Structure formats: structure tokens, C-alpha cells
Copies of this chain bind each other. A is one copy, B any other.
């Protein structure tokens, strides 16, 4: 049997839908007699008001939306799991939209969510986003916003991030402590802050340990793919560049580098060490296992949702919002590749 709607009740009692709705919500402009009649009937037919009715009452939709740059991505899946599991605990439902790293699509997706009256938006900024007014617009419309992972210094909202510079510094320092001195970096694209910060951490670790920075040992991975890591490694070998370690911006390019080294019969880690970043599950499954930085995605997701709840409650109490940058700790994972 289909769920009865306000319309069905209205038809049965020959009154307007609005009157039914108001009667059930005890509006003062409906007579007591009508209220009783509507409530008695609603009880008789076991009417359950749906969530739209609840929205009209509370002005909360109990939905949130997540916009992530990629769907098929281990790290974002972990964050999703964190946000969704926390959301479910608090009876929120979650829309997932994908920006495909595109600025235009990110704008569209945010507008869709605003149009759905979500109570909050969780966003990881697309690599191609070069203007932030659509993001600022979320706050201007009074919708809560929490940014995670890929953030910008120019947005005024809370964010959940890791300290990319510090984590990257730790990774490179680990290679240096293992005796490596000619460390190449497979960096990410030029725009995103986390890619910049990982590069800065790499450079600072070199400088602090008296190793001269050499820009010829830095290669860009625009797609952060396995293929790019493989190709850059092959370039290093072809050009006979003097390299004894590689620090990659993420695990996939690091895994590509390992594949290339194995095919060229180069010993890992004796001749060339490889260090990743993120600790995707695959990094413990390949041979040799990959040393990397663990980024606790699920924890970041859970924290993001908790921050949303705090800001929601502060708003209800009409308190001014104080935006914070929450830094989630990362851990160095040492495995066979270093």
C-alpha cells in the first residue's frame, strides 16, 4: 500500500491540503473542531508525516551534501565513510556529488545542494578551482560549510586538514636518515594547496639537512597517477640522473615508480628507495610494500561532521561562529621500499 499523503487525507475529509497540514501542526488559525477531525482520521489511517512536512515545520532538511573531486579514489572513499557513518548516527542523510576536479562542475554541484536546502555542505576543493566566490556563496546563503583535505587559505569557514608540509618533511627526513641524499620529488599539480605544501615540506627537509635543492629532480604528476610515476622514473633512468630515492606526492605515482624500477632490475631500497603518501590499502599489498604517510581519512570525515554539528548548534543559539582549522595527525609508516 502506498503511504497516505496530506493530499489523500484532504480528499477524504473534503478540506484543503493546507488545512490538513496546519491542523496536524496545531496552527492557531484552524478551528479546534477541524483539528480534532483531521487528527482522528490521521490516527485511524496510521498517517506518518513525511520528511518534507518535517522540513516545513523545522526548517531543517536533515540532509547534508558532500562534493568531492573524484569518486573512484581510496582516500576520498575513506572520508566519505567517516562523514556518512557520523551523519547516520545523527539521522542525517547524505547526498554525494562529484566535481571531477572541475571548477564549473563544482559550482553546479554546490548550487544543486543549495537548491535542495541541505543543512550543510562538505567540500574538498577541485584542482581546477581558481575562484572561490561560489564557495563563499554557501556561507552567504546561511548554509553551513566544512572544507576537508583540499582547502584554500582564502575561504572563511572551518576546515579539516592534515599538516601537509610537516608530513612531507617527515617523509623526506626519513629518507635522509636512511642515508639517501639525492632525493627526487614527484609532485602534484601546481594549484592545490596540499600539493604546494608537500613540495615545500620536501624542500625544507632538504635544506635543513644541508642538501641542496635541485629543481631538475622535481617532476609534476598532473593526474597523480600510477602511469606518471612510471614515466618519470623511466625518464630519471634514461637520463641517468643521479637519484637514490623518490618521494611521491601520493601512493599511486610511487607504485608506478616501483613497477618501473622492478622492470629495470634496480634494487629497492638499496639502489633507489621509494616513499609514497596517503597509505592507500594497496601500499601494503604490493611487493615490496611501500613506505608512506598515513592520512586517516575516516577520522577526517568524522571530525568534519562533528564540526558541522557544533556550528549548527552555535547558530541555533545565535552565537557568532568561530571558524577553525582542525589539523589531523599523520603517521610515518615504514615498510620495505625504504
Contacts and interface: CB of A to CB of B under 8 A. Distances in A.
Interface of A: 1-3, 16, 18, 29, 48, 50-52, 55-56, 63, 65, 71-74, 77-78, 80-81, 84-85, 88, 93-98, 112-117, 140-142, 226, 255, 259, 262, 281-282, 285-287
A52 B96 contact: no
A288 to B, nearest CB: 9
Contacts of A29: 16
18 contacts: A2-B140, A51-B115, A51-B117, A71-B80, A71-B84, A72-B74, A72-B77, A73-B77, A81-B98, A84-B98, A93-B113, A96-B96, A226-B285, A259-B285, A259-B287, A282-B285, A282-B286, A287-B287
A95 B16 CA distance: 32
Contacts of A51: 115-117
Copy count, this protein chain: 2
A81 B262 CA distance: 33
B96 A84 contact: yes
Given A285-B255, A287-B286, A93 B95 contact: yes
A259 to B, nearest CB: 7
Contacts of A255: 285
A73 B73 CA distance: 10
Contacts of A65: 93
A81 B71 contact: yes
Given A2-B142, A71-B81, A226-B285, 12 more contacts: A2-B140, A16-B18, A51-B116, A72-B77, A72-B78, A77-B77, A80-B96, A84-B96, A85-B98, A255-B285, A286-B286, A286-B287
